[in-house]
Amino acid sequence: MEEPIDREHVDRFGRLNSIIDSIPNEDTDLEFSSDEDYESDDTDELKLSPQEQWEESLKQINSLVSFVIFPLIGKILGRRFSHTLWRLYDLMYE
């Protein structure tokens, strides 16, 4: 015969707490390096002179203008121009 299970060892879903406790916890099993190890590798590469930061900012602004601003302006102006041409066409050939 099986031993009766105490209510204190069963959670609200009917599972045994001893089974749940025997599963290894991922947080305690993994060993993480300290933040200092990560920072020491990246800090030398991330330190940029003010001139390099300025050049990087100019590249980002150039990309923004090239890929976002010009296409939007072209779309707006193209639609206005096509509507104007269509009105002229309607006036001439009515």
pLDDT tens figures, 34-70: 555 555 555 555 788 999 999 999 999 999 999 999 9
Sole residue written with tokens 């509507």:
83
CA dist 81 and 70 (Å) reads 16
Tally helices (H) and strands (E) across the chain: 5, 0
Q: Is the pLDDT of residue 31 over 60?
A: no
Q: Residue 72: is its pLDDT beyond 70? A: yes
- Region of poorest pLDDT, from 8-12, 34-38, 66-70, 89-93: 34-38
pLDDT surpasses 60 at 17: yes
What is the average pLDDT score of the chain? 77
